[in-house]
Amino acid sequence: MRTSISTLLKLYQNGEKFTVLTCYDAIFSRLLEACGVDVLLVGDSLGNVVQGEDTTLPVTLDHMIYHTRCVARGAEKAFIMTDMPFGTAQLSPERAFENACQIMAAGAQMVKIEGGHIMTDTTQFLTQRGIPVCAHIGLTPQSIHQLGGYKIQGNTEITANRLIDEAKVLEKSGAAMLLMELVPAPLAKQITATVSIPTIGIGAGADCTAQVLVLYDMLGLYQGNKAKFIKDFMVESSNIQDAVRNYVKAVKTGQFPDKIHEF
């Protein structure tokens, strides 16, 4: 039986952490779920690690549909979440719904949408029509040029309060999960305690409900800039399967991320 939102919410309500890794193909989707990964994120990070792009901006809807189909074919149990790529959710709630329908038809069980206050209407529109949404705040890579680079978010009182408010309004708009990227650990802890939906952290400390890493970062394969929050689990593992199992164990037991991997 495939993992559902209800399954993940039950883990959250029981105070248990769950694990997320990005995934882009059938072979890895089969391997990751066999090693205990709960959620496979078909991330637009494929632009960086698969296509060799500098940003996620060139990734298209067709790319995401194709890779979602690949992942869905390989996995029988893991929950599948897919990013809505740049330009597919921002124009209007109606257009976002049309695009999200194609992603869901390809095998996703949830879409992830970057943005705070500006995406509340879209989040509400989609969730009211049966499409689950994971909101994404903090560093939003699709806005990288506006943000001026890959920088920590919420490190001033004003920006921290804005992120807290965004988390609240996105939950109120129907978001079933909240991903926080490059957020100071104390702030992420506060937001996790404030909302009543699971939070997923990447560079957001250990107190989130779940953790996510880009698969190729976790395996030490990506040769780009090594962010502070990344841990190479291959270093102490004899093979890929062991590395994934060690990641799953470290997240579920609260050993990852530790202090050296948070802000």
Question: What single string gives the DSSP state of each residue in 138-158?
Answer: ES-GGGHHHHTSS---S-SHH
Show the tokens assigned to 206. 């250990």
pLDDT of 245 reads 98
pLDDT of residue 148: 80
Encode pLDDT of 108-155 as tens digits: 999 999 999 999 999 999 999 999 999 999 999 999 888 888 889 999
Question: Residue 224: its pLDDT value, please?
Answer: 67
Place of tokens 């965004």: 166
> Which residues of the chain register pLDDT less than 70?
224-225
Structure confidence at residue 154 (pLDDT): 96
170-206: burial string, b at 16+ Cβ within 10 Å, e else: bbebbbbbbbbbbbbbebbbbbbeebebbbbbbbbbb
Q: Is residue 34 classed as helix, strand or coil in its secondary structure?
A: helix
Tokens, residue 152: 């920590």
- Per-residue pLDDT of 53-77, as tens digits, reads 999 999 999 999 999 999 999 999 9
Go through 63-79 and write b for each residue having 16 or more CB atoms within 10 A of its CB, e for each that does not.
Answer: bbbebbbbbbebbeebb
DSSP 194-259: HSSS-EEEESS-TTSSEEEE-HHHHTT---S---TT---TTTT-SSHHHHHHHHHHHHHTT-SS-G
Domains annotated on the chain, with CATH: 5-261 (3.20.20.60)
Positions annotated as catalytic residues are 181
pLDDT at 145: 85
pTM: 0.97
